Amino acid sequence: MTQETRPPEPDWLAMTTGELIAYREAENRFRASAAARAVTGEPDPGARIEWRELALPGRVLPVRVHRPAGRAGTLPLVVHVHGGGFVGTAVQSDWVTSHLAARLPAVVVSVEHRLVAPDQPLADAVDDGWDTLRHLVRDAGQWGVDPARAAVFGESCGGLIGALAAIRARDAGLALRAQVLVNPATDVTAAMFDHGSVAEHAQTPTLSVPVLRLIQRLAGPGTRALSPVHADDLGGLAPALVVVPTHDPLADHGRRYAERLAAAGTPARLAEHP
């Protein structure tokens, strides 16, 4: 890894496509750097980490695979989706994904999904999450995982992708053991800004309303279908753990989704952290 400095924050709503791509590349270099790891923490030495590629319909998708070192036999599967929306890389989550792999123990596969851009709608990233889960479960023997012990885990925009993967899994008859959604964005319709926490915590060190407006603008068509909080049927899903940072614009997204899951009969636990 090379030492990198974080790029300056752009004018989110005025930036051009070229500026977005340049910012993304610089930010992702930083997130994968030693400087970032000084903050996020080093991977667990009890996990082996490698990049692999999945041959999915019409594309080849990189995934970052974390396996507990020295563990033989079939292990549970966790499909992880990083946050960021229009920015981000699986490497940024190495601390949490490696610790999960070593301590559960499990095979944790982090999806290097397509990032949202003017020519890359959010639906593509959602497809990447679901197609990865389906591929790994179907090819479980090759990956050394137990298809009957699979879960999804997503953060922020990755929480949205994970939640939608859980819905698709139910519809496809794929039984998941759990869905873990950390500070999930659950609404990318125009109503995403109507949640009280968006106004109350409009500018935080990790997320701001202008960033949310950019994501909503880039999401593309069909935003209601991409918003798990607006799903018609949330019954029969995998048990959910929804983790919410109390002072965050997306806090009410997670709270509302946990409420809707519980109302539909899906076991849901809401955990809030200041």
Sign of CA dihedral 182, 244, 161, 172: positive
Interval 198-208: pLDDT, tens: 999 999 998 99
Give me the mean pLDDT over the 172-181 stretch: 99
- Given a cut of 80, is residue 3 above it in pLDDT? no
Give me the mean pLDDT over the 160-171 stretch: 99
pLDDT of residue 141: 97
Mean pLDDT of the chain: 97
Give me the mean pLDDT over the 122-146 stretch: 98
Give me the mean pLDDT over the 217-241 stretch: 98
d(CA 45, CA 87): 27
CB atoms within 10 A of CB 117: 16
Q: Assess contact for 170 and 212: CB atoms under 8 A.
A: no
pLDDT of residue 72: 85
Interval 43-92: pLDDT, tens: 999 999 999 999 999 999 999 999 999 988 999 999 999 999 999 999 99
Give me the mean pLDDT over the 202-215 stretch: 95
- Given a cut of 70, is residue 1 above it in pLDDT? no
Give me the mean pLDDT over the 113-133 stretch: 98
Interval 4-36: pLDDT, tens: 899 999 999 999 999 999 999 999 999 999 999
Domains and CATH numbers, the chain: 48-273 (3.40.50.1820)
| Angle (deg, nearest 10), helices 157-171 and 122-138 | 50
